[in-house]
Amino acid sequence: MPELNRGASTDTRGYFTLTGLPGGKNYELIISYLGYKTESLKVLVQNNRITDFEIFLKRKLLELETIEKIGFKEVTPNATDISLDRITIQEVERHPRGVETDVFRSLQYLPGVQSVGDVSARYYVRGGASNQNLVLLDGVTIYNPFHALGIFSVIDPEMINSMEFYKGGFPSENGGRLSSVLKIFTKDGNRFNYGGSASLSMLTYKAMVEGPIPNGSFILTGRKSHSQKILNKFINNKKAPFDFYDISFRVNYQNVDPEFIDDSKFTVHGFFSKDQLLNNDPLKEDYKWTNNILGFKRFQIYDSPLHSELSIYQSDFEAEVDPKLSSARAMKNLVREFTVRMDFAYIYDSRDELDVGIAFNIIKTKLFLMNKIGTFTDVTDLGGNISFYLKYKLLRYDNFGLDFGTRYNFASLTRKGNFTFEPRVNLTYRLIPELALKSSWGLYEQSLTTITDENDVVSLFEPWFIFPDYLNSARAIHYNFGIDFDPLAWLSFSIESYYKRLFNVPVINTQKNIVNQRDLVPSDGEAYGTEILMQIKKNPILFTTSYSLSKAFQTVDGDKFPPKYDTRHNFKSIIEINLGYGLQTSLAWNFHTGNPFTPSAGYYDKLFIDNLNIQEFYTSYYPFTLLGERNSYRLPTYHRLDFSLSKKFMIRFVNFTCDFSVLNIYDRKNLFYFDRDTGEKVNMLPLLISGTIKLEI
């Protein structure tokens, strides 16, 4: 509102609230959003009541515009957003891509996010393991968000509207993980016109349809693999018969009948994916895994500045390893979560906000394993979690913002996790319009984890399970401090330092020799570092560069060592140029210290005595590698340069987009691992050329 110099950013649903306005007057309201035409309209604000209205924006073609985030700093200078990155799907699409646009690989361009190689889209945040990252699709947990054993994500970018990524210090409404939260928000679909798109890459073909329904809209996307040849480049040219698909949908209904829950929006959404790795060779094992999500939401606006959201959903994950006649072991995993959640938000005239919510979770995990001698282990757990959160956002001062609250776990998935508090504080103080100080602190808890072996180069099977009763819930403490400096309208700097302590994180018991010993033991850890980010937004160039200095350590039974995802120095740089006439190009360079690994010290014949009753007890010897000091060596330095070029054009009523990407332009031989059996050096991704064509009606 130019007259009052007041403004607001919408939330992820597109809703916004302006409070404390003098009533009985007309105001000019200007609305702008990336990719849409700016609208200006007159609004009559009435006395002592909520003025509720809908605004519809029309899309526009982007030619010579600089792509930028819309007004977070200008509109909300007191926003408590340390360690938070807001990402639009347009930003993701502009990055160089391996095969096609990928959500998780785009996160690896952010400071504080590490990977362990080109072969995997798994990400590690500020010294935390990948199973400490929470991925939410419209508020629903996805337990295995990867296709093709982790090479890229299961979430089709065509379905995504925007994302929020917390690298630490995430607020009290989110829990269950120790390191990060990625919130993915899907599109509503077009409320006025039917439309669709189809695209073809060297890996998949996919389609999207959207359009209006009475008082609402829908969107449906589907994707299917058609060729595995390009994936072989990611796994050292080995053949892996991957086959997968994913389907997403969302249906929205806006109630207009005052006799039936007035001012309500209802949403039904779903996501389904399936992966298979089926070998024709009976001496090679098969892999299968699926994700199935179905959810319902009801968003309600009341007469007072209060709104609520009811969420009901179920999220299932299943995985299986069929050994056939190979030496692999049979394994199955099931995770089934059913959740009912209610959230309330009240906005005061002072602009302060009170958020309250409660969630009921029932989670069942089933883990079926067979060891080397054929003994079966079947572990089934059923746990319930009742959590309550409260958060107060103090936003009445233009130069100061405070977000404080807590989570309270009445009942946890584990017996030792009941009645626990997770207090959290997040604040911002703007010294001058160009300079802001930010900090956060919080406690976090996790009672669900995966089994991973650090000595595995690639984890093909990572089953989820509830912590066993003999282990306490894992906990973490986050300390974050940052400075934002914007000396010019087109230049910004950000510096963040963090310190994170981890307690009771379960790891595989590498000292286990007999059945009676426990499979898992607790470990502690710490991670700390500093991240520096510089961004230049000057039409038609967007340049982003960052440097991170970080250290991470894990301690198991008194043995302190860096985890495999610890990289000391990280330098990332990307330049994007809008050349006009629908033509865009980008160039990205990534450099980091080599990842730690455990060297081989020798070999010996190991006697396995898992079962003393077998007849072959005296001949149960297997060749076994004698490992050196854990993660005491590092791989050589990693660096890679990527390029992409995109062209948009129209033929009659059809919009075309052609993308061309080159990964590892100078064909850097980045070492992935040493083969322990042969001593062979296995490199990561070589020079790779890929392309995608997309048409949209």
| 687 within 8 A of 664, measured Cβ to Cβ | yes
Q: What is the pTM of this model?
A: 0.91
How do beta strands 180-186 and 133-137 pair?
parallel
Average pLDDT, the chain: 87
> What are the CB-based long-range contacts (under 8 Å, 24+) for 402-410?
402/80, 402/426, 402/427, 402/428, 403/80, 403/171, 403/427, 405/171, 405/172, 405/355, 406/172, 407/172, 407/175, 409/175, 409/385, 409/445, 410/386
Q: Is the pLDDT of residue 593 over 70?
A: yes
With cut-offs at 50, 70 and 90, classify the pLDDT of residue 260: low
With cut-offs at 50, 70 and 90, classify the pLDDT of residue 339: very high
Q: Is the pLDDT of residue 525 over 70?
A: yes
Q: Is the pLDDT of residue 158 over 70?
A: yes
Q: What pLDDT was estimated at residue 282?
A: 87
> What are the CB-based long-range contacts (under 8 Å, 24+) for 414-418?
414/383, 414/447, 414/466, 414/467, 414/469, 414/471, 414/472, 414/473, 415/469, 416/469, 416/471, 416/472, 416/473, 417/445, 417/447, 417/467, 417/472, 417/473
Q: Is the pLDDT of residue 62 over 50?
A: no
Q: Is the pLDDT of residue 65 over 50?
A: no
pLDDT tens-digit readout, 528-562: 999 999 999 988 999 999 999 999 999 998 899 99
Question: Which segment of 488-502, 552-566, 591-605 scores lowest on mean pLDDT?
Answer: 591-605
Domains of the chain: 1-60 (no CATH), 84-185 (2.170.130.10), 186-595+635-696 (2.40.170.20)
Taking residues 408-415, report their average pLDDT.
Answer: 81
CA 590 – CA 571 distance, rounded (Å): 6
pLDDT tens-digit readout, 212-227: 999 999 999 999 998 8
Q: What pLDDT was estimated at residue 69?
A: 38
Taking residues 24-34, report their average pLDDT.
Answer: 84
pLDDT tens-digit readout, 68-90: 333 334 447 888 889 999 998 88
- Buried/exposed code over 593-603 (b: 16+ C-beta within 10 A; e: otherwise): bebbbbeeeee
Q: What pLDDT was estimated at residue 653?
A: 87
Would you put residue 557 in left (φ > 0), alpha (ψ -120 to 50) or beta? left
Q: What pLDDT was estimated at residue 295?
A: 97
Taking residues 633-650, report their average pLDDT.
Answer: 93
Taking residues 301-330, report their average pLDDT.
Answer: 89
Question: Which segment of 167-181, 319-333, 349-363, 544-558 scores lowest on mean pLDDT?
Answer: 319-333
Question: Which segment of 180-189, 352-361, 466-475 scores lowest on mean pLDDT?
Answer: 466-475
Q: What pLDDT was estimated at residue 263?
A: 72
CA 684 – CA 234 distance, rounded (Å): 7
Length in residues, the chain:
697
Residues 6+ away with beta carbon under 8 Å from 621: 605, 606, 607, 608
Taking residues 240-269, report their average pLDDT.
Answer: 85
Q: Is the pLDDT of residue 298 over 70?
A: yes
Q: Is the pLDDT of residue 38 over 60?
A: yes
Taking residues 245-273, report their average pLDDT.
Answer: 86
Q: What pLDDT was estimated at residue 621?
A: 59
Cis peptide preceding 540, ω within 30 of 0 = yes
Taking residues 559-576, report their average pLDDT.
Answer: 94
| 57 within 8 A of 70, measured Cβ to Cβ | no
